């Protein structure tokens, strides 16, 4: 059984958000920063994925993690948003609809 049999596409070269995807993420991020909800971010790259981590304070664990994993694009969708506990809030093939979960309601972190 190969990777292509599982519906996974092997990565070709480094994985990163393209300009359009990064623009969508930064628009949502900018609105939340202006509202005072978020204050910092970090981008992590891995051999098979890239993630945009959102922080309330830089000394804390990330509140949300927006992840792009192209190997899952055919099966579950390449994009996913994880909360602080590591639970998937939304997953999909297109980034725009996945990001709507961050705009719908204000999440309170306890």
- pLDDT at res. 7: 53
- pLDDT at res. 109: 57
pTM: 0.80
Decide: helix, strand or coil at residue 62: coil
- pLDDT at res. 105: 55
- pLDDT at res. 107: 52
Where are the domains positioned within the chain?
A: 14-100
Divide the 110 residues of the chain into consecutive groups of 10 and give the mean pLDDT of each group. Answer: 50 84 95 92 94 89 94 90 94 94 66
Largest Cα span, the chain: 49
């Amino acid at each position: 059984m190969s990777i292509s049999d599982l519906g996974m596409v092997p990565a070709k070269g480094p994985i990163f958000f393209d300009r359009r995807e990064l623009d969508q993420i930064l628009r949502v991020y900018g609105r939340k920063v202006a509202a005072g909800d978020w204050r910092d971010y970090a981008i992590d790259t891995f051999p098979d994925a890239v993630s945009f981590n959102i922080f309330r304070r830089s000394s804390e664990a990330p509140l949300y993690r927006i992840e792009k994993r192209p190997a899952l694009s055919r099966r579950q969708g390449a994009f996913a948003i994880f909360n602080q506990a590591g639970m998937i809030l939304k997953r999909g093939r297109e980034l725009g609809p996945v990001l709507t979960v961050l705009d719908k309601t204000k999440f309170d972190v306890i």
